[in-house]
Amino acid sequence: KNEVEQSPQNLTAQEGEFITINCSYSVGISALHWLQQHPGGGIVSLFMLSSGKKKHGRLIATINIQEKHSSLHITASHPRDSAVYICAVRSEEYGNKLVFGAGTILRVKS
């Protein structure tokens, strides 16, 4: 079992749809990161969360520390949102290194 589980693995949406990607983890963490990677490209850090909720443009990230769960929401999705979205956690139990989920491949069709 991976320490960081993401769902779904693949997601296809129609332009304009509301999208949710989920991330669950199994240990106490100091921070959770949502990252975006376009095909063949580098990684862009979207959010770092340790509690509550953050919003940036059409992206919203939430975290529930008690339930060890985070969600990334994309409102009014657009084809340019097509990318791999990766959840990563940082925990003393992992030597304070980032532990990555397997990623969610998102495709938004026009």
Partner 1 sequence: DTEVTQTPKHLVMGMTNKKSLKCEQHMGHRAMYWYKQKAKKPPELMFVYSYEKLSINESVPSRFSPECPNSSLLNLHLHALQPEDSALYLCASSLFQTGTPGYTFGSGTRLTVV
DSSP structure string for 50-70: SSEEEEETTEEEEEETTTTEE
Q: Does 31 participate in binding partner 1 (rule CB under 8 A)? A: yes
**Distance separating alpha carbons of residues 108 and 19, to the nearest angstrom:** 10
Q: For residue 9, how many other CB atoms are within 10 A of its CB?
A: 10
Q: Which of 7, 12, 20, 45 touches partner 1 by CB under 8 A?
A: 45
Would you say 45 or 75 has its CB closer to partner 1? 45
Q: Does 101 participate in binding partner 1 (rule CB under 8 A)? A: yes
Kindly state the smallest distance separating residue 49's Cβ from partner 1, in Å: 10
Alpha helices in 1-110 (DSSP H): none
Q: Which of 24, 33, 61, 104 touches partner 1 by CB under 8 A?
A: 33
**Distance separating alpha carbons of residues 4 and 33, to the nearest angstrom:** 11
Q: Which of 8, 16, 41, 79 touches partner 1 by CB under 8 A?
A: 41
Kindly state the smallest distance separating residue 66's Cβ from partner 1, in Å: 22
Contact 23, 69 (CB under 8 A): yes
Q: List residues binding partner 1 (CB under 8 A).
A: 30-31, 33, 35, 40-45, 48, 86, 88, 90, 95-98, 100-103
